[in-house]
């Protein structure tokens, strides 16, 4: 007799691995238990040695089809007296983290049953099993057990109950298990809430309306989507008009991978993300000769956000519609996404022609995640459904329970205890009270679920940020962490890196130590907390302050002026610049009126975009930079000069030569594609020069890249490759976004180092 403790890693969750182990153990007459946690599947098994060795072989050789075993390690344990083999919920195993289950897309087995006319759940929109279905969005409290989920109101029928209680069944202890007899039902209602179709014909009737060009509000997993026919110009225009959303792209949901490939280029990494069990929106390049979709989906963009169905309801809907649907978040402008039936009927009444509802309540709203790919993995724009609330392990132990409240834009907060950071789902732009309330609600929920009682609050020092103001009112000790240091710390924590690094933070906006608006910074991220600012972009006034964000031409004009170039001499730009207006603005700048100083890298990209005629004004955040990036000709090898001035401390990046060169090239009629590329390559080289100089002085050769500007894949790739070629070790974000959505993780991480001071 012996006892093994076996650890299996790889793709072993959400693929039927636990029931598989359970079956093997029963067949071999072993005792013990199996459970999983974020680190993989853990097995304890006790019996005679040949049977145990056999088990180790079978784990790899007979693993379930959807699994992919990467490593199997084991150690001997002392035998204990045990009578049976059990398939445990992870919290039975004494795991410290009580609940970290993300919502999981419908699994292959359930999909097969959904489409099998002989199955009792044939076409049932709420089919799920242990390996798939809702988790996080239906949990009201712990332990994760049906009475504490929003499934409490659906008592199990005898058939479901039998499955739920059978350890050999795929639905053993699947909390949301349900069937047409005992589970939730769908219903289609009109904008006044009157029923148009019940569970029998609701999906067909919804599809019928979508075919007629209507906009439907559809209740999903973490909230409502607004849906319409993605091929119809009229339907998409109607949705834009109602949502008051001018050009910000809409995401689409395609029936399957084949369908996606008719519109977009899908490489292997993208395919894996699209069809994996987290199902984010994946940003994909459009096919040049792809099938036609509505022009208004993503105006001016060469890429499209696409996802595949992730709930059985989506599968039925898309299967029936058999073409891409717009699936954009169910909200008006910047409000939080609607997730309760009554709330949706009220708030979305003017947006939707009808509502496909169901009676399984969503306890917690959760927006779709948005990713692109980088180095064959996901690169996050927004980390939300499918990943939240999976904890991120920190490279250091937290000395206390902490709450980091994040930034104002793209807010996510983080709660931390021991080595775990629980980064929230996307909360939104904290510019109105509705979002602030959502923020508070989710914080309370996280505190309860993860048993975190914050002893201090980490915040951005920006006095006008709503989360900062909120933090001030909580009566707890406060730990301010400067915005761009937090970005760099986020990248370090994201990579599990606790050593010293040089941190390149290129970003839109962040409050600096000196009160200026920072955003192109190089830090010495050493063991201390107040990381030294080694270099920054030379300050430039922002004519009109925040107005420059929507009107990037203002930044272009001021950069030209400071480079000694007459803006009216620039073909294409000078003609559009109103003399009187610019004259007044210039006077205001000279007098220091409403023109705060900035070192923002984001505004530098805006200026270049405006100068090239890409974007005179910006209709959503990041639009100028996105369009500038896609304009760049990849074959171009030239680069402008982002000069480095090391005569002062901190050093300065000087962009004036760069603007002089753009001006010369525009006057010489060089193509905008070439100019856009030379701009990106110039910025890359300029950053690298500063990094090389800093490395010489400090001996540090690990470089972290973070901040919203690094959503730009062209810049990120150029710079990372350039640095790697020179034998630098480059840290890029992998698990959280480089933008403000990842900031709270860095706040948490950096705060731990200053804990001695509060
Ligand atoms: Zn399933
Ligand atoms: Zn049932
Ligand atoms: Fe930022």
Q: Nearest bound ligand to CA 154?
A: 2
CA of residue 360 to ligand 2 center, whole Å? 14
CA of residue 489 to ligand 3 center, whole Å? 12
pTM: 0.92
Q: Nearest bound ligand to CA 121?
A: 2
User: In the chain, pLDDT over 70 holds for what percent of residues?
Assistant: 97
CA of residue 123 to ligand 3 center, whole Å? 45
Q: pLDDT band at 35, cuts 50/70/90?
A: confident
Q: Compute the distance between CA of residue 327 and CA of residue 305 in angstroms, rounded to an integer.
A: 10
> Residue 362 pLDDT more than 50?
yes
| pLDDT value at residue 97 | 40
Q: Which phi and psi angles does 540 have, rounded to 5°?
A: -140, 135
| For helices 713-725 and 672-698, angle between their N-to-C axes, nearest 10 degrees | 40
CA of residue 745 to ligand 3 center, whole Å? 13
CA of residue 122 to ligand 1 center, whole Å? 13
> Residue 12 pLDDT more than 50?
yes
CA of residue 131 to ligand 1 center, whole Å? 5
CA of residue 17 to ligand 1 center, whole Å? 12
**420-423: strand order across its sheet:** 392-393, 420-423, 414-417, 402-404, 456-459, 478-480
CA of residue 87 to ligand 1 center, whole Å? 17
Q: Compute the distance between CA of residue 101 and CA of residue 702 in angstroms, rounded to an integer.
A: 34
Half-sphere exposure at residue 130, Cβ-oriented, CA atoms within 13 angstroms: 25
Q: pLDDT band at 538, cuts 50/70/90?
A: very high
DSSP state of 150: T
DSSP H helical ranges for 156-232: 158-165, 202-211
pLDDT tens digit sequence for 333-356: 889 999 999 999 999 999 999 999
Mean pLDDT in the chain? 93
Q: Nearest bound ligand to CA 177?
A: 2
Give every CB contact of residue 423 below 8 A, 6+ residues apart in sequence. 383, 388, 389, 392, 412, 413, 414, 736, 742, 744, 745
Q: pLDDT band at 96, cuts 50/70/90?
A: very low
* 66 vs 278, higher pLDDT: 278
Question: 281-285, 389-393, 440-444, 513-517: lowest mean pLDDT where?
Answer: 389-393
Comparing CA positions, the residue from 344, 375, 376, 372 lying closest to residue 357 is 344
CA of residue 177 to ligand 2 center, whole Å? 7
Comparing CA positions, the residue from 408, 573, 406, 396 lying closest to residue 493 is 396
Q: Which phi and psi angles does 191 have, rounded to 5°?
A: -65, -20
Q: Nearest bound ligand to CA 157?
A: 2
- Summarize the confidence of residues 473-493 as an average pLDDT: 97
Q: Which domains does the chain have, with CATH numbers?
A: 2-88 (3.30.70.100), 186-359 (3.90.870.40), 371-495+741-757 (3.30.420.360), 503-731 (3.30.420.40)
CA of residue 314 to ligand 1 center, whole Å? 14
Q: Compute the distance between CA of residue 154 and CA of residue 370 in angstroms, rounded to an integer.
A: 33
Give every CB contact of residue 752 below 8 A, 6+ residues apart in sequence. 394, 396, 397, 398, 399, 402, 416
CA 89 to chain centre: 28
CA of residue 174 to ligand 1 center, whole Å? 9
Q: Nearest bound ligand to CA 159?
A: 2
| pLDDT value at residue 172 | 81
Give the strand pairing for 651-654 and 532-537.
Answer: parallel
CA of residue 485 to ligand 3 center, whole Å? 10
Kindly report the number of other CB atoms within 10 A of residue 162's CB atom.
Answer: 12
- Summarize the confidence of residues 203-232 as an average pLDDT: 98
| pLDDT value at residue 38 | 63
Q: Where are the beta strands (DSSP E) in 660-728?
A: 702-706
CA of residue 119 to ligand 2 center, whole Å? 13
Half-sphere exposure at residue 280, Cβ-oriented, CA atoms within 13 angstroms: 27
CA of residue 82 to ligand 2 center, whole Å? 33
Q: Nearest bound ligand to CA 747?
A: 3
CA of residue 183 to ligand 2 center, whole Å? 6
DSSP state of 136: G
CA of residue 602 to ligand 3 center, whole Å? 10
pLDDT tens digit sequence for 729-738: 999 999 999 9
pLDDT tens digit sequence for 118-159: 999 999 999 999 888 998 999 888 767 788 899 999 999 999
CA of residue 149 to ligand 2 center, whole Å? 16
Q: Nearest bound ligand to CA 66?
A: 1
pLDDT tens digit sequence for 439-475: 999 999 999 888 899 999 999 999 999 999 999 999 9
Secondary structure (3-state) at 192: coil
CA of residue 174 to ligand 2 center, whole Å? 12
Bridge partners, residue 149, by sequence: 139
pLDDT tens digit sequence for 235-256: 999 999 999 998 999 999 999 9
CA of residue 477 to ligand 3 center, whole Å? 24
CA of residue 18 to ligand 1 center, whole Å? 13
CA of residue 176 to ligand 2 center, whole Å? 11
CA of residue 93 to ligand 2 center, whole Å? 28
CA of residue 184 to ligand 2 center, whole Å? 10
Q: Nearest bound ligand to CA 133?
A: 1
- Four-residue CA torsion sign, 290, 295, 301, 306: negative
Residue 741 in tokens: 């959505």
Q: Nearest bound ligand to CA 519?
A: 3
pLDDT tens digit sequence for 295-305: 999 999 999 99
CA of residue 141 to ligand 2 center, whole Å? 23
Task: List C-alpha distances in Å: 504 to 167, 332, 730.
Answer: 52, 36, 11
CA of residue 121 to ligand 2 center, whole Å? 9
CA of residue 164 to ligand 2 center, whole Å? 10
Measured at the alpha carbon of residue 682, what is the angle toward residues 270 and 512, in degrees to the nearest 5? 85
Q: pLDDT band at 758, cuts 50/70/90?
A: very low
Q: Nearest bound ligand to CA 482?
A: 3
Give the strand pairing for 478-480 and 702-706.
Answer: unpaired
Comparing CA positions, the residue from 224, 238, 209 lying closest to residue 320 is 209
CA of residue 178 to ligand 2 center, whole Å? 5
Q: Nearest bound ligand to CA 312?
A: 1
Name the strand (E) or helix (H) holding 635.
none
> Residue 308 pLDDT more than 90?
yes
Give every CB contact of residue 671 below 8 A, 6+ residues apart in sequence. 633
CA 205 to chain centre: 33
Question: 218-232, 428-442, 670-684, 695-709: lowest mean pLDDT where?
Answer: 428-442
Q: Nearest bound ligand to CA 127?
A: 1
CA of residue 382 to ligand 3 center, whole Å? 13
Listing DSSP states for 422-444 in one string gives EEPPP-B---SHHHHHHHHHHHH
Q: pLDDT band at 93, cuts 50/70/90?
A: very low
pLDDT tens digit sequence for 101-121: 789 999 989 999 999 999 999
CA of residue 310 to ligand 1 center, whole Å? 11
Residue 681 in tokens: 């390559």
> Residue 86 pLDDT more than 90?
no
> Residue 757 pLDDT more than 60?
no
CA of residue 120 to ligand 2 center, whole Å? 9
| pLDDT value at residue 94 | 34
Q: Nearest bound ligand to CA 163?
A: 2
CA of residue 179 to ligand 2 center, whole Å? 4
Residue 362 in tokens: 């969503």
Asked if 327 and 252 touch (Cβ cutoff 8 Å), the reply is: yes
Give every CB contact of residue 524 below 8 A, 6+ residues apart in sequence. 500, 502, 503, 531, 532, 534, 694, 698, 700
CA of residue 182 to ligand 2 center, whole Å? 4
| pLDDT value at residue 687 | 98
CA of residue 181 to ligand 2 center, whole Å? 5
Q: Nearest bound ligand to CA 161?
A: 2
Give every CB contact of residue 456 below 8 A, 6+ residues apart in sequence. 400, 402, 403, 476, 477, 478, 479, 751, 755, 758
- Summarize the confidence of residues 270-291 as an average pLDDT: 96
CA of residue 168 to ligand 2 center, whole Å? 18
CA of residue 129 to ligand 2 center, whole Å? 12
Half-sphere exposure at residue 494, Cβ-oriented, CA atoms within 13 angstroms: 30
CA of residue 62 to ligand 1 center, whole Å? 20
pLDDT tens digit sequence for 282-292: 999 999 999 99
Q: Nearest bound ligand to CA 131?
A: 1
> Residue 228 pLDDT more than 60?
yes
CA of residue 267 to ligand 1 center, whole Å? 26
| pLDDT value at residue 15 | 66
Asked if 612 and 667 touch (Cβ cutoff 8 Å), the reply is: no
Secondary structure (3-state) at 489: helix
Q: Nearest bound ligand to CA 520?
A: 3
Q: Nearest bound ligand to CA 521?
A: 3
| pLDDT value at residue 59 | 95
pLDDT tens digit sequence for 596-607: 999 999 999 999
Q: Compute the distance between CA of residue 546 and CA of residue 699 in angstroms, rounded to an integer.
A: 39
Listing DSSP states for 317-382 in one string gives HHHHH-S-EEEEESSSTTSPPP-SHHHHHHHTTTT-SEEEEESS--SS--PPPEEEEETTEEEEEE
| pLDDT value at residue 14 | 59
Q: pLDDT band at 98, cuts 50/70/90?
A: very low
Q: Nearest bound ligand to CA 105?
A: 1
Q: Nearest bound ligand to CA 155?
A: 2
């Amino acid at each position: 007799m012996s006892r093994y403790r076996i650890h299996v890693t790889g793709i072993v969750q959400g693929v039927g691995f636990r029931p598989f182990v359970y079956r093997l153990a029963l067949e071999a007459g072993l005792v013990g238990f199996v459970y999983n946690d974020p680190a993989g599947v853990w097995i304890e098994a006790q019996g005679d040695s040949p049977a145990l060795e056999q088990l180790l072989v079978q784990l790899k050789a007979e693993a379930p089809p959807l699994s992919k075993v990467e490593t199997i390690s084991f150690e001997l344990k002392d035998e204990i007296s045990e009578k049976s083999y059990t398939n445990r919920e992870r919290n039975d195993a004494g795991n410290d983290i009580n609940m970290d289950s993300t919502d999981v897309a419908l699994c292959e087995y359930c999909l097969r049953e959904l489409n099998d006319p002989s199955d009792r759940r044939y076409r049932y929109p709420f089919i799920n099993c242990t390996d798939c279905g809702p988790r996080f969005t239906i949990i009201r409290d712990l332990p994760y057990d049906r009475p504490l989920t929003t499934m409490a109101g659906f008592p199990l029928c005898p058939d479901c109950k039998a499955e739920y209680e059978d350890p050999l069944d795929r639905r053993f202890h699947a909390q949301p298990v349900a069937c047409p007899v005992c589970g939730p039902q769908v219903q289609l209602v009109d904008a006044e809430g009157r029923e148009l179709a019940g569970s029998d014909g609701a999906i067909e009737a919804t599809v019928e309306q979508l075919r007629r060009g209507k906009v439907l509000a559809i209740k999903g997993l973490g909230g409502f989507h607004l849906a319409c026919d993605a091929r119809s110009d009229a339907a998409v225009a109607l949705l834009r008009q109602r949502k008051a959303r001018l050009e910000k792209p809409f995401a689409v949901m395609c029936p399957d991978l084949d369908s996606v490939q008719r519109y977009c280029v899908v490489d292997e990494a993208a395919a894996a993300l699209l069809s994996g069990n987290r199902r984010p929106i994946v940003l994909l390049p459009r096919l040049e000769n792809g099938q036609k979709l509505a022009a208004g989906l993503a105006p001016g963009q060469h890429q499209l956000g696409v996802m595949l169905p992730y709930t059985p309801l989506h599968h039925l809907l898309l299967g029936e519609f058999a073409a891409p649907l717009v699936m954009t978040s169910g909200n008006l402008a910047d409000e939080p996404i609607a997730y309760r039936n009554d709330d949706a009927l009220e708030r979305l009444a003017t947006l939707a022609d009808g509502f496909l509802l169901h009676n399984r309540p969503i306890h917690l709203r959760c927006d779709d995640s948005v990713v692109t790919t980088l180095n064959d993995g996901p690169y996050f724009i927004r980390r939300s459904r499918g990943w939240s609330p999976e904890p991120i392990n920190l490279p250091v132990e937290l000395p206390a329970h902490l709450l980091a409240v994040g930034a104002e834009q793209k807010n996510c907060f983080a709660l931390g205890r021991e080595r775990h950071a629980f980064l929230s789902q996307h909360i939104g732009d904290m510019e109105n009270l509705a979002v602030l309330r959502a923020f508070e609600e989710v914080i309370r929920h996280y505190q309860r679920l993860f048993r975190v009682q914050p002893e201090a609050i980490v915040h951005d020092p920006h006095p006008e940020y709503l989360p900062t103001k909120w933090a001030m009112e909580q009566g707890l000790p406060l730990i301010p962490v400067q915005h761009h240091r937090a970005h760099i710390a986020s990248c370090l924590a994201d990579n599990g890196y606790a050593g010293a690094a040089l941190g390149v933070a290129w970003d839109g906006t962040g409050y600096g130590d000196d009160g200026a608006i920072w955003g192109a910074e190089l830090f010495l991220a050493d063991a201390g907390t107040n990381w030294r600012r080694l270099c920054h972009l030379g300050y430039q006034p922002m004519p009109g302050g925040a107005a420059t964000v929507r009107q990037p031409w203002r930044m272009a004009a001021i950069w030209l002026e400071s480079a000694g170039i007459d803006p009216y001499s620039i073909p294409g730009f000078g003609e559009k610049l109103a003399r009187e207006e610019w004259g007044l603005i210039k006077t205001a700048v000279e007098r220091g009126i409403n023109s705060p100083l900035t070192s923002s890298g984001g505004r530098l990209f805006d200026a270049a975009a405006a100068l090239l005629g890409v974007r005179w004004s910006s209709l959503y955040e990041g639009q100028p930079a996105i369009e500038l990036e896609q304009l760049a000709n990849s074959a171009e090898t030239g680069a402008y000069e982002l000069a480095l001035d090391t005569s002062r401390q901190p050093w300065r990046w000087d962009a004036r030569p760069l603007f002089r060169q753009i001006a010369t090239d525009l006057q010489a009629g060089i193509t905008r594609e070439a100019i856009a590329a030379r701009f990106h390559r110039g910025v890359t080289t300029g950053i690298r020069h500063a990094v090389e100089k800093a490395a010489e002085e400090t001996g540090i050769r690990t470089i972290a890249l973070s901040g919203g500007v690094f959503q730009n894949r062209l810049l990120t790739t150029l710079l990372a490759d350039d640095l790697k070629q020179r034998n630098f070790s480059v840290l890029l974000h992998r698990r959280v976004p480089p933008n403000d959505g990842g900031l709270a993780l860095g706040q948490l991480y950096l705060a731990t180092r200053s804990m001695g001071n509060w």
